[in-house]
Structure 1
């Protein structure tokens, strides 16, 4: 064990910083890998790295070595989580809206549009359950090295379980979007046979899709990979991603302001830990009940509004409001920040195209982690500048209200495959019930183009 007191006391707050930095780098870099090499290779490689790095932490001989290994370990875990999240979303986008190949979709669309929210929020609840169980495991283990070794063992078990191609195949959605039709056809046919349907003995409608896939496979084109920087050539898609990254940044960064209002002194570890985990579960249940009923954009707008109002009231009246009011506003703000962060991630997975979804979602998650890193960085300097940090994030929350209005509604829509598909996701009226699109683009490139589009659309 190493002493982190006296002249080495400043290294204590660096623990949360390197934890968040590892997750941030893992989300960004391995998100790029998901789009270049595929979801499954990144997932398996991340689990292999996480197992080895977790075992290496047990044998660390110095504190700097431990911090470096932990940062790499968190990055590998972030890559595995991101690849699994993207693959879960991508499975539901396969050939949606075409009305063809029922036998293909029945075994593969684990997250078709009506069930995407339920699968995503269910995975979040499992994450909360793990967060709540971790202190109990630490209490039983007593020694951090034993707990770290147990973590590496669990990761290795997951590798043995999910490393099988039959249990975690490559996403056919990504394969088709990048022009790898032959590989996609093999996986689709495997799922069709596993569902008890013979691909060669099917209806006329399903046979037409089979013929289309055969034609695509005959060409055997080279894979067409895309980079997330190609979004800057789009008119609307890059703005949608920028707005959702901004919302994620605010949801992660302003959380500390509400925690400081709840515990103005030096809090015990378990009180904020269990409070944040409990509110994350409450926010997940809230999204599960409302995001499909009201739509993604109205719920995100409501969460941002509550977030901004609670932050402004605490900023202006903490010294004058009763203690129960401060407590209520802080809890409400924490709940809203959790909801905004979770919905920003789901929203971004639904508006980014398949060809850049991994990198796009990684950047949005990275923005949220960057916001969370503001608090431990302030602790390094003895909490100096906390008031200014609160003011900045409160102002950002109000600005985000205007930005959220520019987003499209993705509820019930097929996930976009290409950059062009993502650019067609236009802003729709806020109170319209169905996921319809406006007739006019939000930001037309020029007036003649807008008039031409009007004439074409009648």
Structure 2
């Protein structure tokens, strides 16, 4: 009995139809690069200090001395959250006393910023932090806004698979692009932090659902030989292009409302794609809509200049095809046997740590030394060679050694940051970028590696569970950066340590390179830890004959 790839092999691998689907689905990911990391500039915290109202009637001496100095990580800076008591300063000023000469400032009491704050406009004209004073006792609201976005991403990753299975890949793709674009535009008109955060949560739901739907649609339409390229050089590279455009736009648009509107509007350009991108024939078959699936395939054959066979789906094998593409398994099957249980636990930890490292380093770019726009652009640019390296490693080297190498590279350089002298900022930024390169390469490979570890019957659920763990990591990432307020090296030490540790654990995962894809839970690759030896070519051939694997199901790569 033929499988789906055999039935549709007449289309070829890389004709005009496949190229069009590849590039249009990849292009639909570009706005995700804007949205996913827009908080880097929307929620940036400008330099600030307590406001001293003109009504205080202070002399120039006392106005300049109204903010106390304090030590922050060994450096003396002006306080951001305290000022000297204005009633005392007003009295000293009226009596003609001078600060530091007639009055010992260390003996003058301090108070909170009762009249608000003055924010610097040297870097940002406005952000949600400066507009709604999300500093000092309210400084937790900035990271919370980012975390709520990623909470939406978590929920979106949970429901997107079910929605696309129920309503179709194409409908969910365009509906969630509309959610991402529409609610981003509504955010521009928010008058409170609470409304902004609530809408950011909804945007997060649309953002990941759009990404997942495009990813699934591409992997189901494209030939299995193209799926690894689509997963790395396709959606990932185009996401990086969107990410690169973010600091470019932010550099010329320093007001958060205009910037957000500018980033949201390109989503409208995806509307014409509705008439070009087809629905997944695989999904249509599972819904019994065989005629629609045949129409799409015949149209694709015509576009490729190929004559389609008179009968594409033989009625005798159609039911078998449907049973191959549908699954009756549950999430409990991810823990049924020892091997798949260990794979699930380690995959969940691996995805979570990679996500913490990736989003932690990405969101931290404004806190690095130097220009925040340049740092963000470098952080985006480094992703392009990272994904190219990921693709090359997937093509030529064992999976778990490639994963371990990139994780160790990223983790170790982050641990070395604390050893760099404070005056060598270029070296510090270079090490951060190397760390970002390592974790991004790991991110580019983990989709493919995880898909190869899980059997076909639970592959969709396995990737879904791992993806949800990744979203938990992205929720935690803003708070790793928040720890930098107490020690600037602490976020890097934590992220670096976690990446090295999970790299060691990854050695215990089985190797999937050159192995036939498991179809059933019983065929799950054996977990043999660091003693695992790559199967010889002859034994691989034997296993291929033994397993007789057929085809990747819905989300297989």
**TM-score (normalised: structure 1):** 0.72
CA distance in 2, matches of 1:88, 1:414: 22
Inter-partner Cα distance in structure 1 for 2:363 and 2:320: 58
Distance 1:56 1:334 in 2: 32
Equivalent positions of 1:104-143 (< 5 A) are 108=221, 110-113=222-225, 115-122=226-233, 123-139=235-251
Indicate whether 1:237 and 2:366 are aligned.
no
Q: Which of 386, 398, 420 matches 2:521?
A: 420
Residue 278 of structure 2, aligned match among 155, 168, 171: 168
Is 1:3 paired with 2:132? yes
Instruction: Give distance in 1, aligned partners of 2:279 and 2:458.
Output: 19
CA distance in 2, matches of 1:77, 1:337: 21
Label 1:386 to 1:247 Cα distance change in 2 as closer, same or farther (>3 A): farther
Q: For the structure 1 residues 87 and 377, does the alpha-carbon distance in structure 2 shift closer, same or farther, using more than 3 Å as the test? A: same
- Other-structure match for 2:472: 370
CA distance in 2, matches of 1:142, 1:321: 29
| Equivalence for 1:199 | 309
Change (3 A) 1:198 1:391: closer
The answer as to 2:122 corresponding to 1:22 is no
> What's 1:213 paired with?
317
Query: Closer, same or farther in 2 for the Cα pair 1:305/1:221, shift >3 Å?
Result: closer
In the TM superposition, what is the alpha-carbon distance from 1:46 to its structure 2 partner? 1.4
* Equivalent in the alignment of 1:407: 509
**Following the alignment from structure 1 to structure 2, what is the Cα–Cα distance between the partners of residues 364 and 400?**
14
How much has 1:261 moved relative to structure 2? Answer: 11
Q: How does 1:264-283 map to 2 (within 5 A)?
A: 268-283=371-386
SS in 2 for 1:236: helix
Q: 1:438 to 1:272 in 2, by over 3 A?
A: farther
Q: Which residue of 2 aligns with 1:344?
A: 446
Measure the CA separation in 2 of the matches of 1:258 and 1:48: 29
Gaps of 5+ in 1: 92-107, 202-206, 441-458
TM-superposed CA distance for 1:251, in Å, is 2.4
In structure 1, C-alpha distance between the alignment counterparts of 2:405 and 2:504, rounded to whole Å:
12
Q: Is the 8 A contact 2:379 2:433 kept in 1?
A: no
Note closer, same or farther for the CA distance 1:33–1:410 as it changes in structure 2 (3 Å cut).
farther
Distance 1:304 1:39, change over 3 A: same
Once the two structures are TM-superposed, the CA of residue 125 in structure 1 deviates from its matched residue by 1.3
> Between Structure 1 and Structure 2, which shows a larger proportion of helix residues?
1
Gap change, CA 1:274 and 1:36, over 3 Å in 2:
same
Deviation at 1:388, TM superposition (A): 5.9
| Structure 2: distance between partners of 1:49 and 1:372 | 20
Deviation (angstroms), 1:310: 2.9
Q: Deviations 1:320-354 (Å, cap 9, x if unpaired)? A: 99877656544332211111122112322444455
Give the whole-Å Cα distance in 2 for the aligned partners of 1:251 and 1:221.
Answer: 32
In structure 1, the residue matched to 2:434 is 332
The 1:216/1:363 distance shift into structure 2, 3 A limit, reads closer
CA contact (8 A) 2:417 2:492 kept: no
Structure 2 portions without partners, runs of 5+: 1-127, 544-557
Q: 1:59 to 1:367 in 2, by over 3 A?
A: same
Change (3 A) 1:175 1:347: farther
Native 8 Å contact 1:117 1:288 kept in 2: yes
Aligned 1:47-58 pairs, distance under 5 A: 47-58=177-188
Equivalent residue for 2:142? 12
Seen in structure 2, the aligned counterparts of structure 1 residues 438 and 420 have a Cα distance that, compared at 3 Å, is: farther
Q: 1:81 aligns with which of 191, 211, 230?
A: 211
Q: TM-score, normalised by structure 2?
A: 0.60
CA distance in 1, matches of 2:498, 2:295: 49
Cα gap change, 1:124/1:221 in structure 2, threshold over 3 Å: closer, same or farther? Answer: closer
Distance in 1 (CA, whole Å) between partners of 2:205 and 2:289 is 29
User: RMSD of the TM alignment (CA)?
Assistant: 4.2
Higher relative CO (CA 8 A, sep ≥ 6), structure 1 or 2?
A: 1
The answer on 1:228 being equivalent to 2:311 is no
Q: In 1, Cα distance between the equivalents of 2:294 and 2:527? A: 34
Other-structure match for 1:297:
400
Give the Å deviation of 1:229.
4.0
C-alpha distance 144-256 of structure 1, shift in aligned 2 (>3 A): closer
Which deviations, in whole Å up to 9, do the C-alpha atoms of 1:134-177 show, x marking residues without a partner? 2333455565444444544433442x33434x6231350x566x
In 1, the alpha carbon distance for the partners of 2:511 and 2:183 equals 41
SS where residue 13 of structure 1 aligns?
A: helix
For 1:182, what is the secondary structure of its paired residue?
A: coil
Partners of 2:458 and 2:396 lie apart in 1 by 28
**TM superposition shift of 1:303:** 1.2
Tell me, in whole angstroms, the C-alpha distance in 2 between the residues paired with 1:247 and 1:222: 28
Q: Is the 8 A contact 1:262 1:327 kept in 2?
A: no
Are 1:20 and 1:369, in contact at CA under 8 Å, matched by a contact in 2?
yes
Structure index of larger Rg: 2
Inter-partner Cα distance in structure 1 for 2:190 and 2:366 = 34
1:408-444 alpha-carbon deviations (Å, 9 max, x no partner): 444466766x6537x533459555575966999xxxx
Q: 1:44 aligns with which of 174, 177, 181?
A: 174
Partners in 2 of 1:427 and 1:129 — Cα distance? 37
Quickly say closer, same or farther: Cα 1:61–1:129, change in 2 above 3 A. Answer: same
Whether the aligned pair in 2 keeps the contact of 1:34 and 1:359 (CA below 8 Å) is no
Moved more, 295-304 or 334-343: 295-304
How many residues get paired? 405
